């Protein structure tokens, strides 16, 4: 029930900001999720790499915050090697007040 917008509110309401933030947050999330799943499975980057027949630098790249070119084939291999399921879901866009997301 906030009445007045703070400086940050105005800044973060900007379309350009929102667009960029959403884009980067998406990626940040995936990299972080991979790292989490990997740690959860008690694997080093090198150990995970070995399981899917690649190298640790490829894993590091995928866990990098700035990466943007994920492919599902590799993403699936990583998920399986970490003993997790990878779920891809199209959902209805979140509302402005960020309340709920409805499956289509």
Partner DNA sequence: ACAAAGGTTAGCAAATATGTTAACCTTATA
Partner DNA sequence: TATAAGGTTAACATATTTGCTAACCTTTGT
Positions in the binding site for a second copy (CB under 8 A): 26, 29-30, 33-34, 36-37, 40, 68-73, 75-76, 79, 82-94, 101, 104
Picking from 80, 38, 32, the residue whose alpha carbon sits closest to that of residue 56 is 38
Using CA atoms, how far apart are residues 54 and 45, in angstroms rounded to an integer? 10
State the binding partner of 55 from a second copy, DNA, none, CB within 5 to 8 A by kind: DNA
Picking from 43, 69, 67, the residue whose alpha carbon sits closest to that of residue 56 is 43
State the binding partner of 28 from DNA, a second copy, none, CB within 5 to 8 A by kind: none
37 in Cβ contact with 79 (< 8 Å):
yes
State the binding partner of 51 from a second copy, DNA, none, CB within 5 to 8 A by kind: none
Shortest separation between residue 1's beta carbon and a second copy, angstroms = 26
């Amino acid at each position: 029930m906030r009445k007045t917008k703070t400086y940050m509110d105005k800044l973060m309401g900007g379309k350009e900001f929102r667009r960029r933030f959403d884009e980067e947050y998406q990626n940040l999330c995936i990299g972080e999720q991979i790292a989490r799943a990997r740690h959860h499975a008690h694997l080093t980057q090198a150990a995970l790499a070995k399981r899917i027949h690649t190298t640790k630098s490829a894993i590091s790249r995928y866990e990098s915050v700035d990466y943007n070119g994920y492919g599902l084939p590799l993403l699936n291999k990583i998920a399986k090697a970490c003993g997790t399921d990878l779920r891809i879901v199209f959902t209805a866009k979140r509302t402005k007040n960020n309340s709920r997301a409805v499956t289509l």
